[in-house]
Amino acid sequence: MPSRSIDLPQGTLDLLILRTLSLEPLHGWAVSERIQQISSDVLRVQQGSLYPALHRLERRGLIKARWGTSENNRKAKFYELTKAGRRELEIEQDAWQKLTAAVSQILETA
Amino acid sequence: MFLHDLLFRLRSVMRHPAAENELEDELRFHLERQADKYVKAGMSEAEALRRARLEFGGLDQVKNECREARGVSFVESLAQDLHYSARTLLHSPAFTACAVLTLALGIGANTAIFSVVNTVLLNPLPYPNPQELLAARQNESLANLKDVQSQTYSFASSGGVNISPMDFTGNGEPLRVHAAWVDGGLLATLGVQPMLGRWISADEDVKGGPQNVVLSYPFWRDFLAADPHVLGRAIRLSDKTYTVIGVMPRNFALPRELADVFVSLWAGYPEAAPERGVHFMHTYWRLKPGATLAQAQSEIAEADHRLAEAFPDTERERGTMLMPLQEWLVGNVRPALLILFGAVGLVLLIACANFAMLLMARAVARQRELTIRASLGARNSRLIRQRLTESTLLALLGGVAGLIVAKAGTTLLLALKPEELRLLDVIPMDARVFLFVFAISLLTGLLFGLLPAWSASRGDIAEALRENARTTATGVSRSPLRSFLVTAELALALILLAGAGLLIKGFLRLRSVDPGFNPANVITMYLQLPGTRYPKIPMQTNFRRELLARINAFPGVEAAMISDLPLAGNFVGHRLVVEGQPTPAMGSEPLVQVLSVMGDYYGVMQIPIRAGRDFSEMDRAGQPRVAMVNEMFVRQLLPGHNPIGSRINWARADDPNDWMTIIGVTADVKHSGLNQPVDPAIYTPFSQNDEAWRKFMTLVIRTRVPAAALVEDVKKQVWSMDGQIPLSSIQSMDDLLAVSVAQERFNVLLLGSFAVLAVALAGVGIYGMVAYRVNQRTHEIGVYIALGAQHRDVLRLVMKDGVKLGLVGIVLGLAGALALTRLMVSLLFEVKPTDPATLIAVALLLEAVAILACYIPARQALRIDPMTALRRE
């Protein structure tokens, strides 16, 4: 099967980050790796665009950052979900599912 | 959420270097981790790092986006914007100067008036708990003050004061000083303590109490050399010795009165102190904590009622009205100040409109630059913010320049201040004034910067650009915002002009009121005989007669004297009865002004005698008593009678059969002010004076000699007769007349200068609009001329819009004026606020200014050379 990765639709990066961080605190690199792994390399996250998104989410109070030690024993910045972030994730997840369900229904029937 | 955002941004700013390092570390960690991954997959280290970098994208751009995401960039970009604005403003000094100057005038005028409003209306009185302080509208006698205080419960304390001249001698030239004859409770009521020594105690403030004096700070400093051991020193006041017991603090002033020294009424004027009928003290009252004005007023009404019943001959018409002290002090000036403040606010609006138009013209001129910046990726919001930064910076500069204008303005105001503001000797620029300037500058910058920026996004500028590119059809382009601003400016200017016009008309009416005498070439001066050396009437009469004889011996000089000069603010009022008329109830006899004269008073003042004869040398002590009356007296008290020969007497006179015969009738004199009604008055000869306390007099001297030399000669004559009598209030009758209308002149000058400023600004505004459009349409006008248009056609083309907008503005302004000038009715003298002649005149004047403002740029249009204009294509 020819592997062709696709760019993320606008605005979904935040959702993916929140979802990824809902399992455990991660640093930026790990977030990008995780997204790529889980999506079986279908989704391609421009690595540079990840960080502005993380900082924006931090400013909105949806995630918080602290410095810790990485798996290879280096100083790294870890992000974790805040309560507000968890609520936001639920809302966004719900909205996304409704959206995709509606879109696929149209695609299948129309 | 918002708070979190703000704190986050703030932290980002505070921890700026740390945050930068963290960002650096975070991104480096990412790149190294990614490179590690590739190394493990078998890549060379250098190749791995290169690949990681490539995948990551532009590092600097990511950093920038992160900063923006964190909100750091707000402050940074503000600094950038400021730097950029400052640079561009420096590059266009003419524009900057125009904008700053326009705003400086508007803001400066506002700040000056606000400083006065702040000082007079907003600052609390300089006494503790000033909200508890009340003043009585009516004057009061000491006996009544004591009785009311003892019969009421709401007052913590009360005090009274009468200001009288006293002669301070023993220190070079004798000097007239203002003595405050007080009731000892005054200082406790005001809540102030002397700086040195002590105040008059209760057991001293009684009949036969010691002759003590408390000094004001300026008196102590100027006449006693700020002697620190002054307590116990003796000073001479009106021929008596007083012991200094205290000095008041430097910043102390009585609420309304000027006072150099303070003495107990019992010590200063023991004859008047027990007299219940001598209502001559201003009284001040301090409410007990929790007591209300209404409660106090009802208690005082009861006390009044009791006093009226107990002492009907003097207290029959009591009706004491209390009011908050602040209200009593500023109630008279408040309407004028608020109207001036409103007027100057309109001036600011006009200045702001010009400012907005300047910004618009500049935006068009800089459109190319803005377009380039936009195409380089600057976002629209960023561009608007940049322009707001610029306009705010300009406005703040205007505010700073405005402070300088305001400083000059307040200095001028102090020089012009009317009597009501005479205690106002400094107009401080306090924190509130600075806050005011900052607030209106900021608001101006933001609001009137936003207006053109907003209009730009609505296409005004795009339109202007098209105009620039000369692709539009002839003359269809209009900037609605610009037209609106010009119209509004003219409307506002008309409102101000109407207000000023009405005031001027009222003022001219007031000035043309006949005072009843001829003020030209008349010098006046006040003197008072010390009671210790001139206790008896004959001694006083001899002094007066001798003094007048000596002055009249000067060549070219005619002198006379009167007890109370017209327009000087005083008169003695007496009740009287007319022979043959039923005697009214005790205490309700007619009240008239009683003035004593000596010498040819009517001749010197040129007051016409309407009937009968003047006083003569024969009308002296021992002869039948005579009087002259004014026409108002005849109209009110002797209607239908021949006044000459009618007889009058004081109500309840010592000798009811010693009648005064009326020998003459004089023309009415405006004694209390040009805008005040004339009261009935009688004149009696000083030589038949029956009141020994009437020791004061004002010399009136008509002279063709230079006044300064004459004043010295008169002083010499007085002092050769008695070296301890000071001469004071030396002023010409013309000056006195001018002072009496100072409040009105103050209003006229201020509102008039605001109107001039407003018209000038509006004229500049309309000029700017037409000039701008001529410039934009050079090509079109060139073609028009090339096609054979005559001068008048070109003028019509160019001026049409401006003149039309001017007319619309003026019509709107007239409507506004009709609505607003009602507010100033209390300031107008015999002019209706809707006076049609004034409104028409100011409308014509403003239209003329508008046409002129259009004509100047239109003339430039006439000089357009069609060939040059076309070649500029």
Per-residue pLDDT of chain A (110 residues; tens, 9 = 90+): 344 566 666 678 888 899 999 988 999 888 888 888 887 777 777 777 888 888 888 888 889 988 888 888 888 899 999 999 999 999 988 988 998 899 899 888 86
Residue B158 · residue B136 · CB < 8 Å: no
Phi-psi region of B278 (alpha: psi -120 to 50; beta: other; left: phi over 0): beta
Which positions in chain A touch B24 (Cβ < 8 Å)?
none
Residue B606 is assigned to a structural domain of this protein: yes
Predicted pLDDT of residue B470: 44
Spatial separation of the C-alpha atoms in residues B163 and B834, rounded to whole Å: 42
Same domain for B154 and B291? yes
Spatial separation of the C-alpha atoms in residues B481 and B825, rounded to whole Å: 35
Q: How far is CA B375 from CA B369, B370, B372, B384, in A?
A: 10, 9, 5, 15
Instruction: Please tell me which residue of chain B has the smallest CA distance to A69.
Output: B29
> ipTM score here?
0.89
CA proximity to A28, closest of A53, A8, A6, A10: A53
Residue A55 · residue A92 · CB < 8 Å: no
Predicted pLDDT of residue B16: 67
Spatial separation of the C-alpha atoms in residues B346 and B340, rounded to whole Å: 10
CA proximity to A23, closest of A108, A85, A80, A74: A80
Residue A56 is assigned to a structural domain of this protein: yes
Predicted pLDDT of residue B120: 82
CA distance to partner chain B, nearest, from residue A11 (Å): 15
Spatial separation of the C-alpha atoms in residues B401 and B426, rounded to whole Å: 21
B210-250 tens-digit pLDDT: 999 999 999 999 889 899 999 999 999 988 899 999 999 99
Predicted pLDDT of residue B65: 80
CA distance to partner chain B, nearest, from residue A31 (Å): 11
Place of tokens 């108002």: B632
pLDDT-derived band at B300 (thresholds 50, 70, 90) equals very high
Spatial separation of the C-alpha atoms in residues B388 and A73, rounded to whole Å: 50
pLDDT-derived band at B476 (thresholds 50, 70, 90) equals very low
Spatial separation of the C-alpha atoms in residues B333 and B743, rounded to whole Å: 9
Spatial separation of the C-alpha atoms in residues B110 and B391, rounded to whole Å: 19
Query: Does residue B58 belong to the interface with chain A, where contact is any CB pair within 8 Å?
Result: yes
Question: For residue B116, with 0-12 CB atoms within 10 Å meaning exposed, 13-18 middle and 19 or more buried, which class applies?
Answer: buried
Same domain for B788 and B698? no
Predicted pLDDT of residue B316: 82
Residue B101 is assigned to a structural domain of this protein: no
Domain count of chain A? 1
Radius of gyration over alpha carbons of chain A, in Å?
15
Same domain for B613 and B667? yes
Residue B155 · residue B290 · CB < 8 Å: no
- Interface contacts A/B by beta carbons within 8 Å: 73
CA distance to partner chain A, nearest, from residue B48 (Å): 15
Residue A20 is assigned to a structural domain of this protein: yes
Residue B822 is assigned to a structural domain of this protein: yes
CA proximity to A47, closest of B626, B418, B61: B61
| CA–CA–CA angle B205, B211, B217 (5° rounding) | 90
DSSP state at residue B123: S
Domain count of chain B? 4
User: Which range marks the domain in which residue B857 is found?
Assistant: 334-511+742-871
Q: Backbone phi, then psi, for B351, in 5-degree steps?
A: -60, -40
Share of chain B above pLDDT 70, in %: 92
B739 vs B181, more confident: B181
CA proximity to B853, closest of B791, B751, B755, B772: B772
Same domain for B643 and B578? yes
Rounded to an integer, the average pLDDT of B441-464 is 71
Same domain for B369 and B251? no
Predicted pLDDT of residue A4: 58
Domain boundary among B69, B104, B124: B69
pLDDT-derived band at B473 (thresholds 50, 70, 90) equals very low
Query: Does residue B54 belong to the interface with chain A, where contact is any CB pair within 8 Å?
Result: no
Cβ contact B5–A59 (<8 Å): yes
Sign of the CA dihedral with B116 first, then B121, B124, and B130 last: positive
CA distance to partner chain B, nearest, from residue A40 (Å): 17
B313-331 tens-digit pLDDT: 888 888 899 999 988 888 8
Domain boundary among B293, B320, B347: B320
CATH number at residue A91: 1.10.10.10
CA proximity to B476, closest of B154, B780, B267, B823: B780
Residue B763 · residue B494 · CB < 8 Å: no
Residue A1 is assigned to a structural domain of this protein: no
Predicted pLDDT of residue B75: 67
Domain boundary among B320, B342, B377: B320
Same domain for B450 and B567? no
Cα dihedral B495, B500, B503, B509, rounded to 10, equals -120
Residue A24 is assigned to a structural domain of this protein: yes
B781-797 tens-digit pLDDT: 888 888 888 888 888 88
Which positions in chain A touch B72 (Cβ < 8 Å)?
none
Spatial separation of the C-alpha atoms in residues B717 and B723, rounded to whole Å: 10
Predicted pLDDT of residue B517: 95
B629-688 tens-digit pLDDT: 999 999 999 998 899 999 999 988 888 888 999 999 999 999 999 989 999 999 999 999
Spatial separation of the C-alpha atoms in residues A31 and B56, rounded to whole Å: 14
How does the average pLDDT of chain B come out, rounded? Answer: 87
**For residue B400, pLDDT beyond 90:** yes
Predicted pLDDT of residue B595: 95
Share of chain B above pLDDT 90, in %: 44
SS3 A76: strand
**For residue B502, pLDDT beyond 80:** yes
Same domain for B305 and B338? no
Predicted pLDDT of residue B474: 39
Rounded to an integer, the average pLDDT of B694-713 is 88
SS3 A63: strand
Rounded to an integer, the average pLDDT of B347-365 is 86
What the block records as the tokens of B105 is 């005038």
Predicted pLDDT of residue B10: 63
Sign of the CA dihedral with B846 first, then B849, B851, and B853 last: negative
Residues contacting residue B139 through CB under 8 Å, at least 6 positions apart: B279, B280, B281, B282, B283
Same domain for B444 and B384? yes
Residue among B26, B56, B64 with most chain A CBs within 10 A, to mutate: B26
